[in-house]
Amino acid sequence: MLAGSGGPTAVPIVEMSNISMTFPGVKALQQVAFRLFPGEVHALMGENGAGKSTLIKALTGVYAIDAGTIVKSGQEVRFHGPAQAQAAGIATVYQEVNLATNLTVAENIMLGREPRRLGLIDFRAMRKHTRSVLAALNLDIDPGSLLESHSIAIQQLVAIARAVDINAEVLVLDEPTSSLDAREVAELFTVIRKIRDSGVAVLFVSHFLDQVYEIADRLTVLRNGELVGEYLVGDLPRIALISKMIGKELAALTELKQGTRREAAERVAGKSFLTANGLGKAGSVYPCDVEIYPGEVVGLAGLLGSGRTELARLLYGADRNDSGTTTINGAPVKLRTPRVALDNKIAFASENRRAEGLIGDLTVRANIVLAMQSERGWLRQIPRKQQDELADKYIKALDIRPTNPEALVRNLSGGNQQKVLLARWLITEPNLLILDEPTRGIDVGAKAQIQKLVAALSDEGMSVVYISAELEEVLRLSHRIVIMRDRHKIAEVVNTGVTVNDIMETIAAEAGQPA
């Protein structure tokens, strides 16, 4: 499993010890140690809020550390800004490609280091050099083409080529695969292996366990800003890794599992609330059929990028479909905008709370009444008294903290923000509630509360579309599960005795074979 020369006996190229970082009110990292050896792929694992990105930013010079030491090639270093880290041989490729997409591939690889003749850039030499850099990685990309004309996957490879060409000894890949499809991931991995074999230390961050097990030699697990441990990938079974990442949370979740398992088949009967035929959008989701019955929880399962979020957005009109028809309670409806969906009693809580959910600078109260207010139009303001009542009611019902309705929503923790978002939709009394990753990045207590709430709502007759990366969670809550892969709906199962493994196998099945 362990490739290259890297091993515990070798000398680490980077050794971070006793790293602590505190932001006002938050201990982001506490006494964390981290080693990176030449010629290895090292995965950094942890849930949201574990401190992965803070550690990476400390290593790459975006943040300066409060305490601890960073030793690079035997010398203690302190980086002030990414440029210094880069000069020291530590290059980073981010999830959103950080290149100048308006320039050519060659320029992106050579920016800041362009070959010059008589003080002017020598474009011919630049193209030639670029071609050789790309060829060394077996990439066939036209150096003269604009970067923006290429897919994200290729842009990422160009970013890696740039990093390699700068003579990086350490290559940090921060969630490079989150927007790539399977084939693109395979291409990326081939390039990563090539780079690793040339002696570069690769730090790899990904949420996908499969990918980590495929590419990484060693991994470090963080939890709540603390180091859990460093392991050889071969020595650590998946289940052990998951429990190390989740920690004590596991027990609490199993407890919930018993409490909320319910009958499935009986809900899928009678008249559907929403029926979509051939609903799709080019470049987003291939046309598919979806039916949602009153009082049922439909789980959308699939990996990140499988089209699960995109399908949910089509159902809400957040994106406009370009094929297919939708009927609600038997009547045809064109879900062109969120407003139309809202008028049809559909609600949608985005996975991206900060960017697409909450209005950070407004109060909890204003955020809670926002959807109801937009339903009524701007002229008819909800009377202040009613606003206060609604806010108080839901702050109590959902246990939102702080309990002050005039607190700014951006000052709330993730779990409480999620509850505010839920409250916003619940007061509109929707018939269908679409929840995209409602429990991501929130503490376990809030997680259990939200899951219980979903179960209770569906018992009261509300339909729920539930998306989660955690398959256990989807299984625990859903009556029916729609399985997505590569932007296709590939299967739909009634949740009677379905296991995580069944779903994983369905997703993992070769394309083209019936699942």
Partner 1 sequence: MTATLEVKPAAAAPKRRSLRRFERYSQIGATVVLLGILLGVGAKLYPNFLSGQAIMDLFSKNSFLIALAVGMTFVILSGGIDLSVGAVMALGSVVAATLLQQGWPAYLVIPVVLIVGMSMGLLVGLMIHRFNIQPFIASLAAMFLARGLCLVVTDRSIAIEDPFFKTMNLAHINLWESTTVNLRGKVRISQVYTTPAVLIALAVLVIAFIVLHYTRFGRTVYALGGGESSANLMGLAAGRTKVGVYVISGLCAGLAGLLFSFYTASADPVAGIGYELNAIAAVVIGGTLLVGGSGYVLGSLLGVLTLATIYAYKEFDGDLNTGWTRIMIGVLVLFFIVLQRVLVARRK
Partner 2 sequence: MRKLASHRLVWPAGVLLALLVANFLWNRNFFNVTILNGNLFGAPIDILRRAAPVVLVALGMTLVIATRGIDLSVGAVAAISGSWASMYIINSGDRTSVKVVLTAVGVALLIALVAGAWNGFLVSVLGIQPIVATLVLMVAGRGLAQVITNEKILYPDNTPAYKLIGGGYWLAVPFSILLAGAIFGLTALLTRRTALGTLIEAVGVNPEASRLAGVRSRSITWIVYIFAGLCAGIAGLMLTSNSTSADPNSIGLFIELDAILAVVIGGTSLAGGRFSLAGTLIGAFIIETMDTFVVIAISARSTDVFKACVVIVVCLIQSPEARAWVATLFRGGKTRPPVVMAAVTTTAAPVSASAAELTDIAGRVSS
Q: How far is CA 512 from CA 62, 109, 118, 271, 413, in A?
A: 45, 38, 58, 32, 44
Judged by beta carbon distances under 5 to 8 A according to partner kind, the member of partner 1, partner 2, none in contact with residue 316 is partner 2
Judged by beta carbon distances under 5 to 8 A according to partner kind, the member of partner 1, partner 2, none in contact with residue 112 is partner 1
| Rounded least distance, CB 142 to partner 1, Å | 7
Q: How far is CA 351 from CA 13, 273, 313, 420, 440, in A?
A: 37, 23, 11, 14, 8
For residue 107, give the H/E element and its range: helix 105-110
| Rounded least distance, CB 239 to partner 2, Å | 27
Distance CA 394, CA 397 (A): 5
Peptide bond into 8 cis (omega under 30): no
Q: Which is nearer to partner 1, 149 or 337 (CB)?
A: 149
Q: Which of 147, 37, 57, 61 is nearest to 103 (CA)?
A: 147
Distance CA 455, CA 299 (A): 12
- For residue 120, state whether it binds partner 1 (rule: CB under 8 A): yes
Among 148, 343, 389, 505, binds partner 1 (CB under 8 A): 148
Distance CA 477, CA 455 (A): 7
Question: Tokens representing 171?
Answer: 């290559």
Judged by beta carbon distances under 5 to 8 A according to partner kind, the member of partner 2, partner 1, none in contact with residue 145 is partner 1
User: Binding-site residue total for partner 1 (CB under 8 A)?
Assistant: 40
Helices (H), 281-383: 308-316, 338-343, 364-376
Judged by beta carbon distances under 5 to 8 A according to partner kind, the member of partner 2, partner 1, none in contact with residue 423 is none
Distance CA 157, CA 135 (A): 12
Judged by beta carbon distances under 5 to 8 A according to partner kind, the member of partner 1, partner 2, none in contact with residue 410 is partner 2
Indicate the DSSP class of residue 381: P
| Rounded least distance, CB 103 to partner 1, Å | 6
| Rounded least distance, CB 488 to partner 2, Å | 25
- For residue 267, state whether it binds partner 1 (rule: CB under 8 A): no
- For residue 282, state whether it binds partner 1 (rule: CB under 8 A): no
The 3-class secondary structure across 152-211, one letter per residue, is HHHHHHHHHHHHHHCCCCEEEEECCCCCCCHHHHHHHHHHHHHHHHCCCEEEEECCCHHH
Judged by beta carbon distances under 5 to 8 A according to partner kind, the member of partner 2, partner 1, none in contact with residue 119 is partner 1
Of 115-123, 237-245, 286-294, 405-413, the window that binds partner 1 (rule: CB under 8 A) is 115-123
Q: Which is nearer to partner 1, 104 or 416 (CB)?
A: 104
Q: Residue 404 in contact with residue 458, Cβ under 8 Å? A: no
Residue list 33-92, contact with partner 1 (CB under 8 A): 81-83, 86-87, 92
- For residue 124, state whether it binds partner 1 (rule: CB under 8 A): no
| Rounded least distance, CB 59 to partner 1, Å | 14
Amino acid type, 225: G
| Rounded least distance, CB 304 to partner 1, Å | 21
Distance CA 457, CA 448 (A): 14
Where along the sequence are the contacts to partner 2 (CB under 8 A)? Answer: 23-26, 28, 48-49, 53-54, 62-64, 80-81, 316, 318, 337-339, 341-342, 348, 350, 354-363, 366, 370-371, 373-382, 406-408, 410-411, 414, 424, 441
| Rounded least distance, CB 239 to partner 1, Å | 31
Q: Residue 62 in contact with residue 21, Cβ under 8 Å? A: no
- Which residues neighbour 249 within 8 Å (Cβ) at sequence distance 6 or greater? 444
Q: Which is nearer to partner 2, 350 or 463 (CB)?
A: 350
Among 41, 59, 139, 482, binds partner 1 (CB under 8 A): 139
- For residue 183, state whether it binds partner 1 (rule: CB under 8 A): yes
Q: Residue 225 in contact with residue 50, Cβ under 8 Å? A: yes
- For residue 18, state whether it binds partner 1 (rule: CB under 8 A): no
For residue 20, give the H/E element and its range: strand 14-23
Judged by beta carbon distances under 5 to 8 A according to partner kind, the member of partner 1, partner 2, none in contact with residue 111 is partner 1
Distance CA 41, CA 195 (A): 10
Q: How many CB atoms lie within 10 A of CB 428?
A: 18
Judged by beta carbon distances under 5 to 8 A according to partner kind, the member of partner 2, partner 1, none in contact with residue 13 is none
- For residue 149, state whether it binds partner 1 (rule: CB under 8 A): yes
Q: Residue 419 in contact with residue 450, Cβ under 8 Å? A: yes
Enumerate binding residues for partner 1 (CB under 8 A): 81-83, 86-87, 92, 94, 97-103, 107, 111-112, 114, 116, 119-121, 138-142, 145-146, 148-151, 154, 162, 183, 186-187, 190-191
